[in-house]
């Protein structure tokens, strides 16, 4: 009862704050790539505006109102802490003189109706739909239901708004034609409005990153994203460039500002490991789609850095519903096809990853299974050679960042480099 009352209070306050200050609200949703897109949009817009974005994972019915109010922390179960947040909301509503002109709001959905509710609360004028994948299938049952839910952001935009969508995702083809406002598409397809070309991994000033060209209306500009690997990161950059165009920021300025983009922790982020190893930390979350994309990076980074051996350290992928078994087997097959030297599967569900690799042809001597992250981390630490390359990835519940912390060269920097380092996760 207390939780419901608090939710109603902060929701009501957030709605009144939006109504009073009428900021430009940029809503971002999708199954994958939401946080990366949010960070890229923030990097591009902060040179012109002073935008506010969600912090941490504040993308649900509690987090979005807290962002609108301006609170950077949740209050947990503390009555007095929630009371302080409510009083802060009243103060913002009645006396604030410097409320942000732009809100960049990531919007998540665990159940049907979540996106519609957040759209009703925040009234976005720009909506970004990143991509659809097999996340939360346990609740949504089918990909079509996920598309229907996520598309509520686009369908809820005003006629003078702008819908920004991933042209490369076939699941979104039917959504593009339903928008009642201006549409900007992005991707690698020739028909995308903002198009990426000539993608490759590169090294610039000692930093590995994604290099590509951005093409818009015949203008082509080279772009580089330091410490951000994979085409999924370029999609975030393209979404940010589309947002820049929608807010009348020049293409040149947008691309230049992307040099300041920092991939969020746990999203194909490069971290130095022990024994002069390189860790691709992709531990924020995992789906079959995103894991297969991450596996494709291993060979490219190995060739660029001349690494001696490669490890795919893969944890369970959760919330896949009936797709759980086949999704894990599919990832195992992709691991073998990627040419990885060592596959380390962690967690009960990840046994199916090992099975998929084994059935596809990976030798038994290259496959290792552990029930927990501690055992896996100690095994890898003892086995790995100097100059190894490791991809570490799994769902939130798999807690694969614990392995990264075990293997990173400077664990004292874990609080700023890794996901889930707060006190609540330590407990």
- Percentage of the residues of the chain whose pLDDT score is greater than 90: 76
Rounded to 5 degrees, φ, ψ at 222 are: -70, 145
**CA 339, CA 324: separation in Å to the nearest integer?**
24
In the predicted model, is pLDDT for residue 187 greater than 90? yes
Mean pLDDT within 253-271: 92
Taking only Cα atoms into account, the Rg of the chain, rounded to an integer number of angstroms, comes to 22
Instruction: For residue 290, name the pLDDT band (cuts at 50, 70, 90).
Output: confident
Buried b (16+ CB within 10 A) or exposed e, 218-228: eeeeebbbbbb
Which has more pLDDT, 344 or 264?
344
Mean pLDDT within 385-404: 96
Instruction: For residue 210, name the pLDDT band (cuts at 50, 70, 90).
Output: very high
Domains belonging to the chain, first-starting first, are 2-260 (3.40.1190.10), 269-426 (3.90.190.20)
pLDDT at res. 321: 84
In the predicted model, is pLDDT for residue 313 greater than 90? yes
Which has more pLDDT, 422 or 28?
28
pLDDT at res. 262: 87
Average pLDDT, the chain: 93
Residues 363-375 have pLDDT tens digits of 999 999 999 999 9
In the predicted model, is pLDDT for residue 140 greater than 80? no
- Asked if 234 and 196 count as a contact pair (C-beta separation under 8 A), the reply is yes
In the predicted model, is pLDDT for residue 406 greater than 90? yes
Place of tokens 């073998």: 336
Buried b (16+ CB within 10 A) or exposed e, 100-111: bebbbbbbbbee
Instruction: For residue 427, name the pLDDT band (cuts at 50, 70, 90).
Output: low
Instruction: For residue 5, name the pLDDT band (cuts at 50, 70, 90).
Output: confident
- Asked if 219 and 251 count as a contact pair (C-beta separation under 8 A), the reply is yes
In the predicted model, is pLDDT for residue 137 greater than 70? no
Instruction: For residue 163, name the pLDDT band (cuts at 50, 70, 90).
Output: very high
The tokens for 13 are 């306050």
| C-alpha dist (Å) from residue 123 to 14, 30, 175, 240 | 11, 18, 19, 20
In the predicted model, is pLDDT for residue 134 greater than 70? no
Local structure of residue 327 (DSSP, 8 states): H
Which has more pLDDT, 336 or 81?
336
């Amino acid at each position: 009862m207390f939780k419901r009352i608090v939710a109603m209070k902060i929701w009501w306050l957030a709605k009144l704050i939006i109504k009073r200050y009428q900021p430009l609200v940029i809503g971002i949703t999708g199954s994958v790539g939401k946080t990366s897109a949010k960070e890229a949009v923030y990097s591009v817009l902060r040179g012109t505006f002073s935008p506010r974005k969600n912090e941490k994972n504040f993308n649900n019915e509690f987090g979005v109102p807290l962002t609108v109010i301006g609170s950077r922390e949740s209050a947990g179960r503390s009555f007095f802490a929630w009371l302080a947040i409510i009083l802060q909301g009243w103060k913002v509503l009645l006396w604030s003189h410097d409320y942000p002109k732009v809100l960049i709001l990531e919007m998540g959905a665990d159940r049907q109706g979540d996106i519609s509710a957040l759209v009703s609360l925040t009234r976005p004028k720009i909506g970004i739909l990143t991509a659809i994948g097999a996340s939360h299938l346990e609740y949504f049952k089918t990909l079509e239901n996920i598309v229907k839910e996520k598309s509520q952001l686009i369908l809820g935009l005003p006629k003078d708004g702008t819908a920004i969508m991933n042209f490369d995702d076939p699941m979104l083809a039917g959504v593009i034609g339903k928008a009642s406002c201006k549409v900007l598409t992005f991707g690698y397809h020739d028909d995308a409005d903002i198009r990426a070309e000539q993608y490759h991994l590169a090294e610039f000033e000692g930093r590995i990153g994604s290099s590509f060209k951005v093409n818009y209306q015949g203008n082509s500009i080279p772009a580089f994203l330091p410490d951000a690997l994979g085409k999924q990161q370029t999609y975030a950059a393209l979404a940010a460039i589309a947002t820049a165009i929608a807010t009348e920021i020049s293409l040149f300025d947008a691309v230049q500002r992307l040099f300041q983009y920092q991939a969020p922790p746990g999203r194909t982020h490069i971290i130095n490991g022990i024994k002069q190893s390189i860790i691709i930390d992709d531990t924020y979350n995992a789906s079959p789609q995103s894991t297969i994309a991450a596996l494709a990076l291993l060979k490219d980074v190995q060739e660029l850095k001349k690494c001696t051996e490669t490890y795919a350290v893969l944890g369970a992928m959760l919330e896949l519903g009936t797709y759980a078994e086949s999704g894990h087997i599919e990832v195992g097959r992709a691991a073998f096809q990627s040419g990885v030297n060592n596959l380390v599967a962690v967690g009960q569900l990840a046994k199916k990853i090992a099975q998929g690799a084994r059935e596809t042809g990976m030798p038994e001597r290259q496959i290792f299974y552990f029930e927990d992250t501690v055992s896996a981390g100690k095994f890898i630490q003892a086995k790995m050679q100097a100059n190894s390359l490791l991809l570490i990835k799994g769902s939130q519940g798999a807690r694969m960042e614990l392995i990264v912390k075990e293997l990173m060269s400077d664990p004292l920097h874990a609080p700023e480099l890794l996901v889930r380092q707060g006190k609540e996760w330590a407990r």
